[in-house]
Amino acid sequence: MQNQNIESSYIEEDEIDLRELWETIKGGKKIIALIMTVIVSITFVYVLSIPNSYKSKAVLIPAESGSQPGQLAGLAAMAGINLGSASMTPDVAFSSLLDNYEFMKKFIVKNNILEYYTKDDFDKNYVFALGFRGIYDFLKSDSKKEKKIDNEGEIFALAKKLKSSFSISADKKSGLISIEYIDKDRTYAPKMVDMFLRDASAYLVDNGLNNIDARLKYFEQEMSLVDGFELRQSLSAIISKILQEKVMMKSKKYYQCDLLSAPYEPYIKDKAKPKRALILIVSFITSMILGIFIVFFLNFIKSSKENA
């Protein structure tokens, strides 16, 4: 009997607590509504000020060469020479250049990318929600400040920005390589993909040809030193394979790849971001939670003063 009374008293206390909490929320509904209105309004203005970002993509088919590193290593082993087994796929090679500051610096300077992003009308093609860019223009003009020109620093910052805007990946099943670039100017995004593919391929092909020439020179020297017919035949086969690799590399417009799908200008409604609806929903929920917290906090302070 005593245990039942204790349990019923606990239930009554819980009911009272829940009623008190609900009454506290109801009593502070104006504060909650005010906080939600202010935060959601600020968020709405913010999302209107953000221009759309668009993604352009090129798809490449890795070319199959008859002179793969494994084949060369096997032939070299017959001649008593160890080539190792290291190899690099085109997607890894392209990705590595995004971390190569010297390449990125030359890429930016050669294509006048810094000049493009710093000119007065660089944002003339930006697209905004509801077609309204007044808030963006107001904030832009308001934030203009005179600053010292640091060309090297701006190039370094732009190189980091470009790295975060590029995405290079390879499909495990098909092997197709995708090179994507996101930009707020939908007309400039495909140009960036095309410029990067062109310059990166030229850089990688040039390095590859230099390596091939060094290997050819090495094997030609080795061939001049050996007397045995079988060894000379093995070295001759290796040199033949390397020459095939050189021809294949020079025949491709892009580094070890053929173009499947060229980068194109995205449709005006095909934006990659921002997710404005999601931002507003998160803002609404967050502001409601914040409003309830503030109401409880104010109620706690009020109760503390009354009990003091």
Domain layout of the chain by residue ranges: 2-47+276-307, 51-261
Sign of CA dihedral 288, 293, 296, 299: negative
Q: What is the pLDDT of residue 66?
A: 42
Q: Mean pLDDT throughout 43-58?
A: 94
Q: What percentage of residues in the chain have a pLDDT greater than 70? A: 82
Q: How many CB atoms lie under 10 A from the CB of residue 218?
A: 13
C-alpha angle 41-43-44 in degrees, rounded to nearest 5:
65
Reply yes or no on whether the pLDDT at 14 is more than 70: no
Sign of CA dihedral 150, 152, 155, 157: negative
Q: What is the pLDDT of residue 84?
A: 45
End-to-end alpha-carbon separation of the chain, Å?
A: 38
Q: Mean pLDDT throughout 271-294?
A: 94
Reply yes or no on whether the pLDDT at 45 is more than 80: yes
In this structure, the strands spanning 177-183 and 166-170 are antiparallel
Task: At 286, give phi and psi (nearest 5°).
Answer: -65, -40
Reply yes or no on whether the pLDDT at 225 is more than 90: no
C-alpha angle 210-213-217 in degrees, rounded to nearest 5:
140
Q: Mean pLDDT throughout 59-78?
A: 58
Q: What is the pLDDT of residue 284?
A: 95
Q: What is the pLDDT of residue 8?
A: 54
Please report which confidence band the pLDDT of residue 83 belongs to, taking 50, 70 and 90 as the band edges. Answer: very low
Please report which confidence band the pLDDT of residue 67 belongs to, taking 50, 70 and 90 as the band edges. Answer: very low
Please report which confidence band the pLDDT of residue 72 belongs to, taking 50, 70 and 90 as the band edges. Answer: very low
Q: Report how far residue 25's alpha carbon sits from residue 151's, in angstroms, rounded to the nearest whole number.
A: 56
Reply yes or no on whether the pLDDT at 148 is more than 80: no
pTM, two decimal places: 0.75
Of the listed ranges 79-93, 119-133, 179-193, 236-250, the least confidently predicted one is 79-93
